[in-house]
Amino acid sequence: MTAPVEAHLADLVGFPTVSDRPVDGILSWLAERFEGLGFRIERLDSPSPGKANLVCTAGPPGTDGVLLSGHMDVVPVDGQPWTSDPFKLTRVGQRLVGRGACDMKAFLAATLAAAAQLPIRELRKELMLVFTHDEEVGCLGSAQLVRRFLAEGRPVPSATLIGEPTSFQIFRMHPGHVVVQIVCRGRAAHSSKPDLGDNAIRLALRVVERLEAIAERWRTDIRFPELLERPFVVMNIARIAGGGAINIVPDRCVIDLGFRPLPGMAVAALFDEIRADVEALGEVTASLGRVTPALLTPDGTELQGLLRAFAVDPSARAAAYATDGGNLQELGTNTLIFGPGSIDVAHRADEYVPVEELFRCVDVVGAVVWGRCA
């Protein structure tokens, strides 16, 4: 017989919630089940059609229980060498294979299975579940939820658990991610008379040199060496596009880059550093794109104590990737990242969660809710 948590995971993987598609289906499925267990349900629609966050609450509102959060979207499967249908959960030995199996529908399935075993209607502190959309494309859903909660002055529990795949390692910190676009403008001319134009690509090369100098400078500002493998702001020049026809001097070249600010750093100041240096070169404009905040939770929180019994290592470390936790932190809650499956198999073909870890996650959620809300 299939255990409920495994059946839930199979149902959840069956929704192909790649970030460019709606989340209506999976959202209604979750809402219906949590409502059946006694939760209050709120669908928070986003401006993009078919996109919404789901909030399920139980226990007295405004009391300090716990917030459990997970994203509903998954990354694409196109071009990946899957050996089975990615949107049909397939058991291979002790592995459950499917897109989102570990990142992070396992946590959603475990939360549902655990809730079915708990006295949800009798909780003495608030249990809040937040299921987000568009996490994989820059934590857009959690950013919207946070804006809304801040506008409403709505309190949330002071402890948050996000069940991203960490192989049951506790993470209390991660860098953020910031997107910057730089546009270099030149003047078009016939390629036979290049002296009559200004070549935007040549200008872009000088911009790249400046960016490398900034990245070099940032590498010397060491922070959190005990937590991070690269304890400085990392920059990646990700994309460059310029020019058109072979016989025209290009009049435009666009550079897209990303950098990863560390907790406590002012994103605006880092961006201003870039802007001042590159705009000094002339016809160059830098603009700030999407910002995903860094996360830092103090060591030794009560939630960390509850997770320790299930963790492979009692200490809390740093994740290399960003999560919804950076946004949620702005609501004044302390987030830990801890969940089943390995980030090393997430986003790849034949992504899987070990069956044992899925089952153990049900116990984790049960212990956390019991510890914070009973």
Which residues would be at the binding site for Zn ion (CB under 5 A)? 103-104, 164
Specify whether the CB–CB gap between 237 and 257 falls below 8 A: yes
Residue 167 or 199: the one with the smaller Cβ distance to Zn ion is 167
Residue 59 or 141: the one with the smaller Cβ distance to Zn ion is 141
Residue with nearest beta carbon to Zn ion: 103
Least distance (Å) between residue 338 CB and Zn ion: 13
Least distance (Å) between residue 272 CB and Zn ion: 31
Lookup: tokens for 206? 């000088």
Specify whether the CB–CB gap between 129 and 53 falls below 8 A: no
Least distance (Å) between residue 197 CB and Zn ion: 46
The kind and range of the H/E element at 219 are helix 200-219
Least distance (Å) between residue 33 CB and Zn ion: 21
CA–CA distance, 223 with 263 (Å, rounded to integer): 9
Q: Which of 364, 116, 313 is nearest to 372 (CA)?
A: 364
Residue 164 or 198: the one with the smaller Cβ distance to Zn ion is 164
Q: What is each CA distance from 11 to 46, 55, 86, 206, 267, in whole angstroms?
A: 24, 20, 13, 52, 40
- Torsion-angle region of 243 (φ positive above 0: left; ψ -120 to 50: alpha; else: beta): left
Least distance (Å) between residue 215 CB and Zn ion: 27
Residue 108 or 291: the one with the smaller Cβ distance to Zn ion is 108
Least distance (Å) between residue 71 CB and Zn ion: 6
Residue 198 or 351: the one with the smaller Cβ distance to Zn ion is 351
CA–CA distance, 254 with 235 (Å, rounded to integer): 17
Residue 15 or 271: the one with the smaller Cβ distance to Zn ion is 15
Lookup: tokens for 161? 């658990």
Cis bond before residue 235 (omega within 30° of 0): no
With 0-12 CB in 10 A as exposed, 13-18 as middle and 19+ as buried, what is 269?
Answer: exposed
Residue 11 or 103: the one with the smaller Cβ distance to Zn ion is 103
Least distance (Å) between residue 35 CB and Zn ion: 25
